[in-house]
Structure 1
């Protein structure tokens, strides 16, 4: 393979981020919209951030050159941190966790303290930033969706949900939320925050992750049963269609049955192509428009919990940690199953759209 880091190697010869969480699971990865600053949340109650710089290879046969510096770590949460997001200017990181709080970290302050800006009645599973309203949005296991102005402890808006929040994504004017019970709701956030869609998941089994298309025309959702669905809000005959496909499955030697793994994360590239990562330790790049798989990475032989492309789309970060898909009996301990965060340099030819061809994937 070409275009990978050279100074520190992880599985697949990608660049290993120094000082990742060493115990418990890595729950989220997010990039700053203004710089190559990466944050990770984890079940050890911490939020960590790194400055990541890459020099692309001068020729395809040479590896990219990396400089990745650990910058800071906050342990202000009292229980596991389940999600993070950035403010549009990249200065603030917002986090939500099992301590039922939503917190704000000023990266420019030099402090590791976090200001509490919101609270739920149960763990906060997801956080996002609504740029259209300049509000933080949080979804919890208390079946509530709340919007926060950082200057006030009282929510700027609340929505009672049918079930617990399992995953959430917000992009532009579109907010989608995957709930327990295979329910999905979508909101438009401007000019007023209002529910636009309430539907059952197009997949048969429990939703694990959800992500809005870059053009906001629909979303992709992944399940615990190794399937991903592409769903458009408005059907356009001849131009777009809803469909689902199998991924993150391993055939046995006779190919009579498959070992099924959860789709743990979906991340869209600025081109509109996307990645899926799963419990099989595999990364896939996909093109939904041509219905093709663009690239498959060799398995890292451990679960991949989450992933994200940077704003420019030339760095792909993914986190390796046990996802408890096989229960306690599947966990072999931190020495046998060490956590890790890897960075993959993404040349354009790996991720750009391809021409459509006949047949289904």
Structure 2
């Protein structure tokens, strides 16, 4: 996590949730330097564009895009016409398109290179969508729904298959490591699954092999996320913790616990995998040392639960 604040490559940390604001923080000092109002609804998910020019906020029946390099308080792009909550948002690695998932049972792809604000492609999941994850090959989208299915949508062939790790559960979060060799999912019971991934090059589809199932948390699971160096997996839960697991042997390395946190909703690693930031129901975000479990910084200012964050501390080439 470098301390530089130069040019258009600052460290960007944004948090949002139920108080209808998006807050931008100096990650190293804990100072909030910008607050954007999001009056229409709570914010369910945040994602920074690959070029670090804008941030997308997913809310109830819409996505709002805000400029990161100005103080403009208003969204610069609005995507509307969606039913129910948008729960997930992300981008193609070159910023060509955005993908979203939501409680209207769909995953949508939005072309960012055209002026059209209509979505170009829709995938029907037949159940509310909790999470959407793009494979590093940029050609397959993994979708977790409330019926416990993980759908694999092949964008080139426009076909899909699915797997059901456990019936009568809800897939809350999916993560694929940057190398594209592992996938993790966590369900509402706190059960975590790890698969090895193979294939996925050219027209070869990704093949999924279940490697490990374990109880990451005894309560509701919310988020799972691989570290940038692929050596760690973070899981968060309603049990007031974020846990850091080693991917080599799936053993617990660190438990990040603060008794006031209540639900830990979201997390993001630093680019060097040494630190992690969490968002929680006590209106706070926190920066932790992955190795020691110590809180290095607290980000205080939200009036209600912080349920999502976006963090980027690497330089854009």
Does the pair score TM above 0.5? yes
**Contact 1:101–1:118 under 8 Å retained in 2:** yes
Runs of 5+ consecutive residues of structure 1 not aligned to the other structure: 55-65, 251-259, 315-361
Q: Show the counterpart of 1:184.
A: 192
**2:245 matched to 1:231?**
yes
Query: Aligned ranges for residues 92-241 of structure 1 at < 5 Å?
Result: 92-132=97-137, 134-155=139-160, 157-162=161-166, 163-172=169-178, 173=180, 174-191=182-199, 192-235=206-249
Q: Show the counterpart of 1:246.
A: 257
**Contact 2:192–2:216 under 8 Å retained in 1:** no
Deviation digits for residues 73-117 of structure 1 (CA, Å, limit 9, x no counterpart)? 112322221111111111211011111111101112111101233
> How many residues matched?
282
Q: Show the counterpart of 2:16.
A: none
Cα distance in 1, alignment partners of residues 23 and 43 from structure 2: 16
Q: Show the counterpart of 1:77.
A: 82
Q: CA deviation at 1:313?
A: 7.1
Q: State the TM-score, normalized to the length of structure 2.
A: 0.80
Query: Aligned ranges for residues 1-361 of structure 1 at < 5 Å?
Result: 12-17=31-36, 20=38, 22-42=39-59, 44-53=60-69, 70-132=75-137, 134-155=139-160, 157-162=161-166, 163-172=169-178, 173=180, 174-191=182-199, 192-235=206-249, 242-247=253-258, 249-250=259-260, 261-272=262-273, 273-310=275-312, 312=314
Local SS of the residue matching 1:181: coil
Cα distance in 2, alignment partners of residues 10 and 233 from structure 1: 32
Deviation digits for residues 17-57 of structure 1 (CA, Å, limit 9, x no counterpart)? 3x52x233211001122333211111x21011123127xxx
- For the structure 1 residues 311 and 13, does the alpha-carbon distance in structure 2 shift closer, same or farther, using more than 3 Å as the test? closer
- Structure possessing the higher radius of gyration over alpha carbons: 1
Q: CA deviation at 1:166?
A: 1.1
**Contact 2:64–2:79 under 8 Å retained in 1:** yes
Cα distance in 1, alignment partners of residues 296 and 211 from structure 2: 31
**Contact 1:278–1:305 under 8 Å retained in 2:** yes
Q: CA deviation at 1:134?
A: 1.9
Q: State the TM-score, normalized to the length of structure 1.
A: 0.70
Q: CA deviation at 1:244?
A: 1.8
RMSD between aligned residues = 2.8
Cα distance in 2, alignment partners of residues 150 and 132 from structure 1: 11
Local SS of the residue matching 1:109: coil
**Contact 1:105–1:114 under 8 Å retained in 2:** yes
Local SS of the residue matching 2:189: helix
Local SS of the residue matching 1:291: coil
